[in-house]
Amino acid sequence: MVNSKFRRTNEKFFDEYRIFDEIMCERWNYDEDGVGKYLEKMKDSYIEAKDAINEWDTTYQRLTAIKKRFDDLENNETSFDDFQGKDEDVVWMQVFCEKLDANADPLSKYKTLKFTYKKRPKSLWQKIKDMFG
């Protein structure tokens, strides 16, 4: 039965994503939604990091696709019996966890970069923005 193959693939992905999200929470000290918060940080740092870190865009796109796939399955927007993707997403998440352990993921790399404008004093507008979140 073809559908059972899709179901097994999606269930494996779903379970692995939950572990992946938990690892992201632990690594970056998030309470929940580790992948979503990681994506937010990537989005906030996009302008500075996109040219300096080669895999920035591809990582962002892959994490976004993986999160969408999980959200669709979790919210019953798609069935576990429908084709959603391949096992390569599971492998990609596992490799990404290895990068996290080695501080070789995009955000870890970003934290080690030095940008000249980061050293400049903040403008009044930036200070006000920082005060109000």
Q: How would DSSP label each residue in 88-105?
A: HHHHHHHHHHHHHHTT-S
| 79 has a pLDDT exceeding 90 | no
Per-residue DSSP letters for 14-65? HHHHHHHHHHHHHHHT-SS-HHHHHHHHHHHTHHHHTTTSTTHHHHHHHHHH
pLDDT band with cut points at 50, 70 and 90 for residue 48: confident
pLDDT of residue 104: 95
pLDDT in the model for residue 122: 66
Q: What confidence category does residue 60 fall into, taking pLDDT thresholds of 50, 70 and 90? A: very high
Which range has the worst mean pLDDT, 35-39, 62-66, 81-85, 104-108?
81-85
What pLDDT, on the 0 to 100 scale, is given for residue 123? 72
